[in-house]
Chains A and B, each alone.
Chain A
Amino acid sequence: AQTVTQSQPEMSVQEAETVTLSCTYDTSESDYYLFWYKQPPSRQMILVIRQEAYKQQNATENRFSVNFQKAAKSFSLKISDSQLGDAAMYFCAYRSSGWGQGAQKLVFGQGTRLTINP
């Protein structure tokens, strides 16, 4: 079974600075998808960014980018120019490729709580 590990329970950063959240995963599959979701205090789960394992290019969405290292099974999230609205829990998630039973489910890490200091 796949597992996702986020080793940083909490992180903090000064407003306008850059912060990187870490995520590692364990899988024997060669094709899969990785996601970062944000959960603000409203508890709504919001998709931040996604990465297809077959793509070598790292995904980017505005101030958010990932560093995907397939061989190391690492998938970190970089937030540039941090804003107060970025304060939230961030979850890394894994999804298998394919259609077998359970393939579509998301496997989540334990989350990292990000605080933005003004």
Chain B
Amino acid sequence: DAGVIQSPRHEVTEMGQEVTLRCKPISGHNSLFWYRQTMMRGLELLIYFNNNVPIDDSGMPEDRFSAKMPNASFSTLKIQPSEPRDSAVYFCASSWASLADTQYFGPGTRLTVL
């Protein structure tokens, strides 16, 4: 089975541009998570969905960040406008929501904002 798929793997953009990161969770999983990894803050949750519904977006840094999950097999994380401090690796993870779920991570998207 394919794991979590993320695209693009690398993104370089200029400050002020819109950036869209994409994620396809593992088929059958009903929870999806977006994490960000930076040297300063480590790995932190941005937002997660259960059955396509956002459950906790308290980690979203500010209004420039938005995430959607229009269906069970696709999610996007959008940054508009992007800033240099958004440079990080963004991970998507999915799981089958249960008390004992394990999250499986995608390969990540390395974002560089110049």
**A42 to B107 CA separation, bound complex (whole angstroms):** 8
> Chain B contacts of A46 at CB under 8 A?
105
**A21 to B93 CA separation, bound complex (whole angstroms):** 24
B108 touches A44 (CB 8 A): yes
**A108 to B37 CA separation, bound complex (whole angstroms):** 10
A105 touches B56 (CB 8 A): yes
* A91 in contact (CB, < 8 A): yes
* A47 in contact (CB, < 8 A): yes
Q: Mark B60-74, 1 if CB is under 8 A from A, else 0.
A: 000000000000000
> Chain A contacts of B45 at CB under 8 A?
105-106
Question: In the complex where A104-B55, A105-B45, A110-B42 touch, is A97 in contact with B108 (Cβ < 8 A)?
Answer: no
Considering the complex, give the chain B residue whose CB is closest to the CB of A109: B42
Number of interface residues of A (CB under 8 A): 23
B102 touches A50 (CB 8 A): yes
Name A88-118 residues within 8 Å CB distance of B: 91, 97-98, 101-102, 104-106, 108-111
Tally A-B pairs: CB < 8 A.
54
Main secondary structure of the interface of A (DSSP, over half): loop
Least distance between A25 CB and chain B CB atoms (Å): 14
* A33 in contact (CB, < 8 A): yes
> Chain B contacts of A104 at CB under 8 A?
31, 33, 48, 50, 55-56, 95, 97, 101
**A110 to B56 CA separation, bound complex (whole angstroms):** 22
* A52 in contact (CB, < 8 A): yes
B99 touches A102 (CB 8 A): no
Q: Mark B19-54, 1 if CB is under 8 A from A, else 0.
A: 000000000000101010000001111001010000
**A91 to B108 CA separation, bound complex (whole angstroms):** 16
Which of B50, B56, B59, B102 sits near A35, CB closer than 8 Å? B102
Considering the complex, give the chain A residue whose CB is closest to the CB of B43: A108
B108 touches A111 (CB 8 A): no
B107 touches A33 (CB 8 A): no
* B2 in contact (CB, < 8 A): no
